Amino acid sequence: MSEFFNNSGLFFALLGAAIATLMAGIGSAIGVGKAGVAAAGVLAEEPSLFGKVLIFQLLPATQGIYGLLVGFLILSNVGLIGEPKDISVLQGMLYFASALPIAFAGLWSAIYQSKCAVAGISTVAKKPDQMGKAIILPAMVETYAILALLISILAIFGIAGMQ
């Protein structure tokens, strides 16, 4: 039993990589989906706005990428990609904890950003020249995903430097 526990560092690290990718990914999938529905509605009336509404649809896509980024960093730091390494239980748990910010902030910020993006799409449908302003509002929501990403990344680099 104790041997099992001692070897479970890698498991916790993988759990962290998984949760970062999957939760941020779920958020982005929901967000991009919602914005896509609204974008398709606008296209039915104004096919020429495709380029503009596509950008709005992509705004909530970034959280998923941040999740992927953190997941990948953890995998490569613990040696699941590249050379295998010895990971202690503590290190594994630390990696797990470091994944939490982007996992949760990613999930919710993508969903709320998509609400903002949907509103932005309707703004652009009525006033295509107001694109610049309409795109800034959803970007405000993303700030918090970026902050979470920052802490996740700094934590991973910090853990890797501990040894």
Partner 1 sequence: MAMLKMQRIYIYALIKYCKDILETLQRRGVVEIENLELEDSVFFKEDTSSLQAQYNRSAATATEALEILSRYAPQKKGLLSSFKGREQISTAEYDKMVDGAQDTLRIAYDIISYQKNIDMNEAEKVKYEAQLEAIRPWLSLDVPMTFTGTATTTAFIGKFSDKRSSTDIVTQLAELIPEIEGIDVEIISSDENQTCVFILAMKQDAEEVSDALRRIGFEYPSYVSPVAPQTREKQINKHLSNREGRILEAENNIKSCEKYYAKLEFLEDYFVMKSERYKAFDDISTSRNTFVLSGYITERDAGELKTYLEEHFDAEVELEESDTPETPVVLKNNKFAEPTESVLASYSYPDRHEADPTSIMAIFYYVFFGMMFSDAGYGMVMALACGILLKKFKGMEAGLRRSMKMFFWCGVSTTIWGLLFGSFFGDAVSVISNTFFHTPPPDIPGLVVPIWFNPVTDPMQMLMFSFLLGIIHLFAGLAIMAYNDIKHKEYAAVLYDVVSWYLLVGGAVLALLSLDMMGNIAGFVLPPIFLTIGGVMAAIGALLILLFAGRESKNPVKRLLKGAYGLYGATGYLSDILSYSRLLALGLATGVIAQVFNQIGSMMGSGVIGVIIFTLIFVIGHGLNIGINALGAYVHTNRLQFVEFFGKFYTGGGREFKPFKINTKHYTVKEEI
Tell me the torsion sign for CA atoms 142, 144, 147, 153: negative
- Told to check if 22 binds partner 1 by CB under 8 A, we report no
Stretch of residues binding partner 1 (CB under 8 A), selected from 9-17, 84-92, 104-112, 135-143:
135-143
Token pair belonging to 61: 């896509």
Which residue among 44, 126, 132, 162 contacts partner 1 (CB under 8 A)? 132
Answer whether 134's CB lies under 8 Å from 113's CB. no
Distance between CA atoms of residues 152 and 156, nearest Å: 6
- Told to check if 127 binds partner 1 by CB under 8 A, we report no
- Helical axes 9-45 vs 89-126, angle rounded to 10°: 10
Q: Which residue has the tokens 């039915």?
A: 44
- Told to check if 150 binds partner 1 by CB under 8 A, we report yes
The 10 Å CB-count burial string (b at 16+, else e) for 63-84 is bbbbbbbbbebbbbbbebeeee
Output 3 or 83, the one with its CB closest to partner 1: 83
Site for partner 1 in 46-85 (CB under 8 A): 55, 58-59, 61-62, 65-66, 68-69, 72-73, 76, 81
Q: CA angle, corner 161, sides to 156 and 162, nearest 5? A: 100
- Told to check if 33 binds partner 1 by CB under 8 A, we report no
Output 40 or 154, the one with its CB closest to partner 1: 154
- Told to check if 136 binds partner 1 by CB under 8 A, we report yes
Task: Write out the residues near partner 1 by the rule CB under 8 A.
Answer: 55, 58-59, 61-62, 65-66, 68-69, 72-73, 76, 81, 131-133, 135-136, 139-140, 142-143, 146-147, 149-150, 153-154, 157
